[in-house]
């Protein structure tokens, strides 16, 4: 029985290694083509990203774009706390009731903001706006995605803007 268990573990291990190798090859091929496979944008409401609404950037094969609005939680918290009384118990109850009545869009915005905050900490992003390319290069202060992509490609080619 031990031999059978070990051979199953070996097959699983080989399968995992093969899958990781194959995904690494695909990622390397994408990066070799000059297109970053993934761009994560970290911003707040005072720094709108352009052209965020341009469908070429989010649906094409040019880049895979993920935008995190990091102040989403604060904006919803301020909505929840509007008009609260000075009584902490009553205020807590009102906020809990309002929180339970949040619509799906507000919940999704809060979740997206929380994920963005966690990613920003992971990448050590310390100011906004910031764009992270391929999980390894950060460009700060640029709000135009096209301009940031040009800078990223120049950096990859060893040229400095």
Same domain, 21 and 90: no
Q: pLDDT tens digits, the chain, 161 residues: what are they? A: 445 444 444 444 444 444 444 444 444 444 445 554 689 999 998 888 886 544 444 444 567 889 999 998 898 888 888 998 899 999 999 999 998 999 999 999 999 999 999 999 999 999 999 999 999 899 999 999 889 988 988 888 887 65
Q: Is residue 59 part of a domain?
A: yes
Is there a single domain that holds both residue 80 and residue 135? yes
Are residue 23 and residue 42 in the same domain, yes or no?
no
Report if residue 161 sits inside a domain: no
Answering whether pTM is above 0.85, one says: no
The whole-number pLDDT of residue 35 equals 52
d(CA 82, CA 122): 32
- Rounded CA gap, 63 and 133, in Å? 10
**Domain limits for position 61:** 37-156
Judgement on whether residues 19 and 45 belong to the same structural domain of the protein: no
């Amino acid at each position: 029985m031990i031999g059978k268990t070990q051979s199953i573990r070996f097959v699983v291990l080989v399968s995992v290694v093969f899958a990781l190798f194959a995904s690494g090859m695909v990622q390397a091929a994408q990066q070799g083509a000059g297109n970053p496979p993934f761009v994560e944008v970290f911003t707040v409401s005072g720094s709108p990203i352009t052209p965020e609404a341009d469908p070429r950037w989010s649906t094409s094969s040019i880049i895979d774009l993920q935008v995190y609005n990091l102040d989403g939680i604060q904006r919803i918290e301020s909505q929840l706390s509007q008009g609260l009384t000075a009584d902490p118990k009553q205020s807590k109850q009102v906020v809990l009731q309002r929180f339970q009545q949040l619509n799906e869009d507000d919940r999704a915005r809060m979740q997206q903001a929380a994920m963005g905050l966690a990613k920003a900490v992971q990448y050590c992003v310390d100011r906004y706006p910031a764009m992270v390319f391929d999980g390894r290069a950060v460009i700060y202060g640029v709000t135009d995605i096209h301009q940031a992509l040009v800078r990223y490609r120049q950096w990859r080619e060893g040229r400095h803007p």
